[in-house]
Amino acid sequence: MNKYILKEARTRLDLTVKEMALKLNTSQRTYEGWEQGRTIPGIVEVAVNLLESNSKLAKIISSLGLSHLIYS
């Protein structure tokens, strides 16, 4: 994963830098460093992929009118 893919994923998820850092359980400063090109740990790619998958799944569940089954 490179800094461009990381930023694109954050944009697709409609998250701020601070929100993305929180989702990845890291500091905002560390996350900003990744987006600026510092070495990105491999586990971050896995976490970002899971965040994107979860976001897509939530949209499908919502579109089916089943949100109440998940978020109750």
Question: What is the structure's pLDDT at 17?
Answer: 96
Please provide the DSSP assignment of 15-72 as one string: --HHHHHHHTTS-HHHHHHHHTTSPPPHHHHHHHHHHHHHHHHHHHHHHTT-HHHH--
Domain boundaries, the chain: 3-70
- CATH code, 3-70: 1.10.260
Q: pTM here?
A: 0.72
Matching residue, tokens 């987006």: 35
Question: What is the structure's pLDDT at 71?
Answer: 59
Question: What is the structure's pLDDT at 6?
Answer: 92
Q: What tens-digit pLDDT sequence spans the chain (72 residues)? A: 788 889 999 999 999 999 999 999 999 999 999 999 898 888 898 899 899 888 888 888 888 888 777 655
